[in-house]
Structure 1
Amino acid sequence: MKLPDQLHQEIQNLGAILGQTIAKDQGVETLTKIETIRELGKTSRDDEEAFKQLFNQFNNSSNHELLVLSRAFAKFLNLANIAEQEYANTVEGEELTGKEKTREEFFDKLKDSSLSKEQIQKAINALSIDLVLTAHPTEVSRRTMIQKFNEINHCLRGKPFGSSVPSVSRRLEDLITQSWHSNEIRSQRPTPIDEAKWGFAVIEQTLWNAVPRFIKELKSQVKEHADIELPENFSPVKFSSWMGGDRDGNPFVTSDVTESVLLLARWEAADLFIRDIKSLIGELSMTTANEELKAATQNSEEPYRHILKQLRQQLRDTRAELEAKVTTGQWNESNVMHDNQQLLEPLLLCYRSLVECGMDSVANGKLMDTLIRARCFGIFLVKLDIRQHSERHSQVIEEITQSLGLGSYQQWGEEHKQEFLVKELSSNRPLIPLSWQPSDDVREVLDTLKLIARQNPEALGIYIISMASEVSDVLAVQLLLKACGLTFKLPIAPLFETLDDLNNAEQVIQKLFANVDYRDYMDGHQYVMVGYSDSAKDAGVLSAAWAQYQAQENLVKLCRQEDIKLTLFHGRGGTIGRGGGPAHSAILSQPPGSLAGGFRVTEQGETIRLKFGTTRVAQKSLALYANAILEAMILPPPEPKAEWREVMHKLSDLACEHYRDYVKSNDQFVTYFRQATPEQELGRLPLGSRPSKRKKDNSIESLRAIPWIFAWAQNRLVLPAWLGATQAIQELYEQGAKEPLLAMKEHWPFFTTRLDMLEMVFVKADPAISAIYEEILVEDALKPIGESLRTQLKNDLKFILEFTGKESLMQNEPWNKASIRLRASYLAPLHLMQVVLLQRLREMPEVDNQHVITQAMMITIAGIAAGIRNTG
């Protein structure tokens, strides 16, 4: 399949405007050079001579020329992405991508099912989507540039696709010129507060309008297709955040930072609701009201405006006090709104009156939009999660036990730790000695917990414990929260990340439920976070996926037996190596029953832009989530057969063995990785606020999973997303497991999804590109590692086609395949520029001219990420 002519024309139009802009700034000669490179890029995939010409072109260019060229190709890829995104949301685009078909198929399945109307309504009423916004540690684009891209989106929406409208073309020229003459890359590393403000901007610019539209559309579809009238207070979606709350491995997220982010979120919420209320005051001029509203407004002539003006003043006072608190540290807390009911009650008062007085259309217009926002965002805007590493809690208790003369807590066995924690939880005496002076690290943990204790529970999400592996990891947090004055029950979620921790998750949670104090504390609702990144880094993508599936399945069964509500929290990233990929298939591949307690998932910087970058895209992304979750709840996937489980166990063991043979058994592998990818340079660039390593050593274990995966994507080997998986399938297939494997491929969504993901990875991988990185950047002694990996990749690709019976990769997804192919010719120049820049950066001292190289390097990183997508 080729992409539609209208899309090609739109991309050409945008490219032409960009070319004119570059010619005006850099001269026609530079534009001619760019066009030559573009043509070579198109043929370089199949023409070795063109490939060499391209490399020589860049090798003979100055650093400044590389900066200009990298900017040109990165800009073009971003413009192509914008055009493609907009086209995908036209009527024609939805037909081609299958999005509309997916929605229609779900309601058709409902009609064909034997489910009663009551069963369907019960499931829809239970729909719960909690999207957790997180910063992207490898995001380099400035917020101002993202805003310009959003403006270009709006321009394309204002005309027939692929056409040229003079007024729109002038505006596009304006925006592209602004973009070209602006620094697209931040010059300083963002602070956690900067990242939080970026998250707030996403809410303001897109989600604020997308959420009401999504909920209203869903209500309408349910009414049309299932004849079910959903209640006025139907509110299935909410947003949480890690920005300013995730301190695992990030020393820059302090208690002061967290407090500032909480205050700024409330300020942003007040400001947004003031705008809403101002609009409502302008509209609700009616004089007819019910007795309840009349009494509340002392029979005011314009009762709706009367009540809304009071609310507006409360919001203004709140905003003013929050601003004073942020800027001076002082405020009059009595003037601040503290409870979301203070926002909801006057709005509901107006709503009830309008409905009772026959003005339903008015009640369900802008007022309903504001009510939806009040329930979704409220006066706290987002619920802030707090995440901390289990070692930090252990360190706090270690210092306490040492100061009390009780010995070393960290040296105790698990049973001894639990005995101590249980005893202290039931004790009324203070845990923390009055005269005790903790270390700075311990004081910071305690200051954070004390801050949490002072908050309204509505402002907080859950407390996540990274690298949790034992019952004591959870009880330690419960005890420390109690010691710091917590009076409400903040949910505590262990994060099971490694293969061993996932395999032991059920046992740990079962022991936790046996603890009377904890069982009372968790109040019938347990959150468990499933780690995708570290488990894949630890064991490979296939073994990790099976461990995640079994852990979820076992936890669902356990909680059902214990009559406890379970909410599974999926720590996914954008890339397949971190659990990413198409949301619909990912949700439907989860174990049956795993969504009964709601769906909670991380959305990272890059995926936030792709899924929620514009209001229309955000609305459709929310609808996609809702349809997939409802389908999984109402029409759950089949349980895997016993034979399939046995095969998966064998596949998992084999895949893990093959993965670790490469990654962990070869003591030269880390050195190869660091030479063949820009991993070392990523750590020095001003990307996210968080350091790229947890610990200062050279082991793979010390690396964060995100830069590990991101670096492999940059050199197009994309290793973490495929290594070991297909090799294991091929071995079992050839050893006699052909029949069950083929049955799994046809009938088990979990396994089918894994195969689809592998195909997508293989399309994005490019052995020729990775070979160039190796040839130029890797010492000769290490090159056999890369040669072996590329040979394995080619073997895997050949087998996956044989096994799936397809002539080509992604045969059933022609749109996505064509989209990837479109960007390939523009990616090749960026990769070759990056290789040249890496070589120069590594050879030169950290002095003269490095700034230009560093800037060009960041642009190639951002451009490659834009071209590949799903990179972090």
Structure 2
Amino acid sequence: MGEDVRIETVSEATRELREDIRFLGSILGETIRDHEGAEVFDLIEAVRTEAFRVRRAEVERSAVADMLDGTPTEVALPLIRAFSYFVLLANLAEDIQRDRRRAAHIQAGEPPQDSSLAATYAKLDDAKLDAETVADLLTDALVSPVITAHPTETRRRTVFDVQTKITEHMRTRRRLDPTDPDYAATELQIRREMLALWRTALIRLARLRIQDEIAVGLRYYDLTLYDVIPAINAQVRTALRERWPDADLLPRPILRPGSWIGGDRDGNPFVTGEVVRFAAESASAYAFDRYLRELTELEKELAQSARLVDVTAPVAALAQASYDDPKVFADEPYRRALHAIRARLSATAAQALTELPEAALSTQAAPYANPQAALDDLDAIDESMRANGDGLLADGRLANLRHAIETFGFYLQGLDLRQNSEVHEQVVAELLKWAGVHDDYASLTEDERVALLRSELHTRRPLLGPTAQLSELATKELAVLKAAKDVIDTFGVGAIPNYIISMCTSVSDLLEAALLLAEAGILDPSGPSSPVGIVPLFETIEDLRAGAETLRSALEVDVYRDLIQAQGMRQEVMLGYSDSNKDGGYLAANWALYRAELDLVEVARETGIRLRLFHGRGGTVGRGGGRSYDAILAQPVGAVRGSLRLTEQGEVIAAKYAESGAAHRNLESLIAGTLESTLLDVEGLGPDAEPAYEILDELAALARAAYGRLVHEAPGFVEYFRQSTPVAEVGDLNIGSRPASRKPTNSVADLRAIPWVMAWSQARVMLPGWYGTGTALAEWVGDDPARLAQLSELYERWPFFRTVLSNLAQVMAKTDLDIAARYANLVENEELRDRIFGMITTEHARTIAMYQAVTGHAELLTDNPSLAESIHNRFPYLEPLNQLQVDLLRRLRAGDDSELVKRGILLTMNGLATALRNSG
């Protein structure tokens, strides 16, 4: 019966999805007709109809291209905007449908779905784990999504806000009966918002500043994160302590967010000391503002009379310290106590911020020394209320505020710093030369560098005096670190939790960062001790292979070992998905990451450190994207161990965290995956692990060679890439403050991963997410059915291999080589075009064939029907966007560099990124 209900409800949800898409599309069409005229509307409708006929294979793929060829630019622009909005509205309808499907699942009475905490708790219950094991594995547990300064979220905030309003009105409309007067009023609101959407420009005229990026990142706290994160923390702690009451689990909240926005200066010249202060203060100001507003509301809510309730002595003391006039709210002790807390928190905010939040009091009260002191006062109110039988009241706004302060402290989110190791080397060399320590640090061998740096880190003597004259680079770098010191002193330990070293290749890279932290006064050499962790980032395949040995060697240096010891033996290591993929291709990069984790886990076991891995994942599969829950379960045994940090970036930030239900589900899935990977055996290979690893060693080598033959060895490949994709134009899309390349270059190696991936996505090749895998599988299997059976068994048994192939299928389902061929025609050299595109098409066919052979799936998305449905709904709208982009690129490159042509290209890029949903 349950299965029948599920089938009926899912079918109903699909019907409702189609209705929603038609409804929204019709309102958009009417809006266009009313404001752009019947001629434009008729053209859009004709193109839309033909695009859907192409999808149904009723006409040739050239039908849409033929309709659009030669379209005047001024006519193309409303066409592009229309199809971009069609896509955005289809996305919106799909997001609403997910909620329906979840409701249908619950209504059918089915068990909790994997990736939910309810399903994880059931698995933990079945495992019957002892409290001592759980307590050890969850020591210092942390799950930290880190919003990064790599935005490929191309929607403007205004567009995003209007979309959010339409979503809410659509949900309201679905709940109402058509005869209800509110039904017509809601539809009118949707029409009103649709007009606002059509009248809003899709793209920015000016590039985002870092300050804008900081504001964009903080908006997600207003939308969801401030309310959702503390609630999940409280729920998880309660659930685990109920199961293991004697283990005192999660003394700190497990879910603690982070950010790179304003602290990541690797390749971004706009990050300065002032920006670091601005980022930290903006986050803190948001936290204080929310706390003070909540306290204001609590003062209104908790007005119990002293004639009706008794209060504990601590609350009575707080009430006494409140208003100067003892007659004000004389018989309302909780109100007076909360006012006293608000006064002290206002004083704390005044001490930390340059501008007071609106809800702050003008007060002479003593500021709180730290968040725990504020929590102690709130806890006293909570205890008093529970002692009086008012726990139900205490579980409302008061509990939410207590959980929020415990989670966010006075800084809201930890701001990581990041810089490239090459910059550290230059600055350290300059400091050592100025101080008379060594005139040519760069000439030293690695052993000599380590010895010199070790010696310097054993002394408290600063290298620089007040009269030091430094280069612009060194001055700027030290200003950033001194700003970080001010942030820590002002907002507390945790405000700047990590210093990440990009392209870390050696022990000296780690010690150089330590020396710079010491020079800024953050690291105290006398311990040594530092509130900021030094985090190596291993990015290329070679660096990933050498990462464990680099860490082992660093831990053999006494000063570094002592520093880690002072930090509770906790060592964080960041793994780079983007550069490893660009370096060696999809399969080779994924396996290099897995192997690196295995080696790092072994180093942790040998040295006694508690390893925390930080995964630098992007939104798209080529940069480590895919379902986070599956990715966590695909980690090697011991690689998670209660701790996980991962970057969140691009369009997926909005998809995951713009709406409360989605945010709750995504954050739940991160914790669920972390708990399962930590406490259960999810790898499933057992004694067959080593043979499986050997197979992947061979596959990765074959895949890397195949990828290299195209990307690194094929003559003219870079020229082909630049001409057949809009990579040059990606830099003009105002999606972020960071330049598209680390430095002026024609080298793929120096191109940032976002434009590399985004350009291939726009051209519908998606090359970083699959190329080389088909050849590797085919060459390894050969004509041996036994080998094919081995791979099929690994696919069934091993989460890592299954996830790799599943993600590959997802990205290949978004490829379209017919459209890609039109982009290839932009390449002027016919021989180059045919040769490179021929290699791509051959590998594409080979990869699909091998995927089907290994998995047994006849279609790419057999195991992901929701994505298959999504592609079915959205991709006809991509057809005209791609065709128009190619046409406009051809005009631009032929010399028509008019503002309208450029704007049209950027509009198509915006629409395609919205449609693909994980383009960078």
1:36 lines up with 2:46 in the alignment: yes
Letter in 1 for 2:415: L
Letter in 2 for 1:531: G
1:409 lines up with 2:434 in the alignment: no
Q: In the alignment, which residue of structure 1 is the partner of 2:426? A: 395
Post-superposition Cα deviations, 1:702-750, rounded to whole Å, max 9, x if no partner, equal 1011110111011110001101112101211116433432221121111
Letter in 2 for 1:289: V
* One of 480, 491, 497 as aligned partner of 1:461: 497
Larger deviation, residues 677-686 vs 484-493:
484-493
2:827–2:833 Cα contact (<8 Å) kept: no
Post-superposition Cα deviations, 1:36-90, rounded to whole Å, max 9, x if no partner, equal 1111111224659553232233222221211111111111111111111122023
Deviation, 1:244, is 0.4
Distance change (3 Å), C-alpha of 1:431 and 1:219: closer
Deviation, 1:576, is 0.6
Distance change (3 Å), C-alpha of 1:864 and 1:161: farther
Deviation, 1:109, is 2.6
Q: In the alignment, which residue of structure 1 is the partner of 2:847? A: 796
2:538–2:544 Cα contact (<8 Å) kept: yes
Question: Take 1:100 and 1:81, find their aligned partners in 2: how far apart are those partners?
Answer: 25
1:81 lines up with 2:102 in the alignment: no
1:295 lines up with 2:317 in the alignment: yes
Deviation, 1:442, is 1.1
1:285 lines up with 2:303 in the alignment: yes
Distance change (3 Å), C-alpha of 1:89 and 1:401: same
1:732 lines up with 2:771 in the alignment: no
Distance change (3 Å), C-alpha of 1:212 and 1:138: closer
Q: Aligned runs of 1:104-115 on 2, under 5 Å?
A: 105-115=119-129
Distance change (3 Å), C-alpha of 1:458 and 1:91: same
Deviation, 1:190, is 0.7
Question: Take 1:179 and 1:441, find their aligned partners in 2: how far apart are those partners?
Answer: 44
Deviation, 1:166, is 1.9
Distance change (3 Å), C-alpha of 1:335 and 1:391: farther
Instruction: Flag structure 2 segments of 5+ consecutive residues without an equivalent.
Output: 1-9, 322-329, 525-529
1:834–1:857 Cα contact (<8 Å) kept: yes
Distance change (3 Å), C-alpha of 1:447 and 1:864: same
Distance change (3 Å), C-alpha of 1:585 and 1:161: farther
Q: Aligned runs of 1:67-466 on 2, under 5 Å?
A: 67-92=77-102, 95=105, 100-102=112-114, 103=116, 105-116=119-130, 127-160=141-174, 165-218=183-236, 235-286=253-304, 287=306, 288-298=310-320, 301-317=331-347, 324=354, 339-403=370-434, 404=436, 406-432=438-464, 434-456=466-488, 457-466=493-502
Letter in 2 for 1:585: D
Larger deviation, residues 363-372 vs 495-504:
363-372
Q: Aligned runs of 1:710-729 on 2, under 5 Å?
A: 710-729=758-777
Q: Secondary structure at the match of 1:465?
A: strand
Larger deviation, residues 36-45 vs 465-474:
36-45
Distance change (3 Å), C-alpha of 1:537 and 1:49: same
Identity of aligned residues (%): 33
2:280–2:487 Cα contact (<8 Å) kept: no
Post-superposition Cα deviations, 1:419-451, rounded to whole Å, max 9, x if no partner, equal 110011112332225543111011101111122
Deviation, 1:497, is 0.2
* One of 533, 542, 557 as aligned partner of 1:515: 557
Deviation, 1:611, is 0.5
1:274–1:315 Cα contact (<8 Å) kept: yes
Post-superposition Cα deviations, 1:260-288, rounded to whole Å, max 9, x if no partner, equal 21122221221121221122112111243
Q: In the alignment, which residue of structure 1 is the partner of 2:7? A: none
Q: In the alignment, which residue of structure 2 is the partner of 1:624? A: 669
Q: In the alignment, which residue of structure 1 is the partner of 2:581? A: 536
Q: TM-score, normalised by structure 2?
A: 0.89
Question: Take 1:431 and 1:609, find their aligned partners in 2: how far apart are those partners?
Answer: 45
Q: Secondary structure at the match of 1:387?
A: strand
* One of 729, 749, 756 as aligned partner of 2:806: 756
Q: In the alignment, which residue of structure 1 is the partner of 2:4? A: none
* One of 715, 721, 726 as aligned partner of 1:673: 721
Deviation, 1:334, is 11
* One of 863, 867, 870 as aligned partner of 1:812: 863
Letter in 1 for 2:341: L
Letter in 1 for 2:713: S
Question: Take 1:468 and 1:125, find their aligned partners in 2: how far apart are those partners?
Answer: 28
Question: Take 1:230 and 1:14, find their aligned partners in 2: how far apart are those partners?
Answer: 51
Q: Secondary structure at the match of 1:574?
A: coil
Deviation, 1:632, is 1.4
1:264–1:322 Cα contact (<8 Å) kept: no
Across the aligned residues of Structure 1 and Structure 2, the Cα RMSD in angstroms comes to 2.8
Letter in 2 for 1:185: I
Question: Take 2:608 and 2:742, find their aligned partners in 1: how far apart are those partners?
Answer: 38
Deviation, 1:126, is 5.8
Question: Take 2:450 and 2:176, find their aligned partners in 1: how far apart are those partners?
Answer: 66
Q: In the alignment, which residue of structure 1 is the partner of 2:829? A: 779
Deviation, 1:120, is 5.5
Question: Take 1:298 and 1:335, find their aligned partners in 2: how far apart are those partners?
Answer: 15
Q: In the alignment, which residue of structure 2 is the partner of 1:478? A: 514
Q: Secondary structure at the match of 1:468?
A: coil
Question: Take 2:720 and 2:624, find their aligned partners in 1: how far apart are those partners?
Answer: 25
Q: In the alignment, which residue of structure 2 is the partner of 1:698? A: 746
Larger deviation, residues 107-116 vs 612-621:
107-116
Deviation, 1:321, is 6.3
Question: Take 1:121 and 1:477, find their aligned partners in 2: how far apart are those partners?
Answer: 33
Post-superposition Cα deviations, 1:236-259, rounded to whole Å, max 9, x if no partner, equal 211111000000000011111111
Q: In the alignment, which residue of structure 1 is the partner of 2:542? A: 500
1:582 lines up with 2:582 in the alignment: no
1:829 lines up with 2:880 in the alignment: yes
Question: Take 1:333 and 1:55, find their aligned partners in 2: how far apart are those partners?
Answer: 71
Q: Secondary structure at the match of 1:573?
A: coil
Distance change (3 Å), C-alpha of 1:276 and 1:196: same
Deviation, 1:791, is 2.0
Larger deviation, residues 235-244 vs 56-65:
56-65
Q: Secondary structure at the match of 1:841?
A: helix
Question: Take 1:791 and 1:509, find their aligned partners in 2: how far apart are those partners?
Answer: 41
1:94–1:100 Cα contact (<8 Å) kept: no
2:17–2:93 Cα contact (<8 Å) kept: yes
Deviation, 1:344, is 2.1
Distance change (3 Å), C-alpha of 1:838 and 1:658: same
Q: TM-score, normalised by structure 1?
A: 0.94
Deviation, 1:656, is 0.6
Deviation, 1:863, is 1.3
Deviation, 1:663, is 0.1
Question: Take 1:634 and 1:308, find their aligned partners in 2: how far apart are those partners?
Answer: 41
Q: Secondary structure at the match of 1:535?
A: helix
Question: Take 2:740 and 2:865, find their aligned partners in 1: how far apart are those partners?
Answer: 36
Question: Take 1:307 and 1:768, find their aligned partners in 2: how far apart are those partners?
Answer: 69
Instruction: Flag structure 1 segments of 5+ consecutive residues without an equivalent.
Output: none
Larger deviation, residues 225-234 vs 803-812:
225-234
Question: Take 2:250 and 2:169, find their aligned partners in 1: how far apart are those partners?
Answer: 35
Post-superposition Cα deviations, 1:799-840, rounded to whole Å, max 9, x if no partner, equal 211221112112122112111221111111111111112112
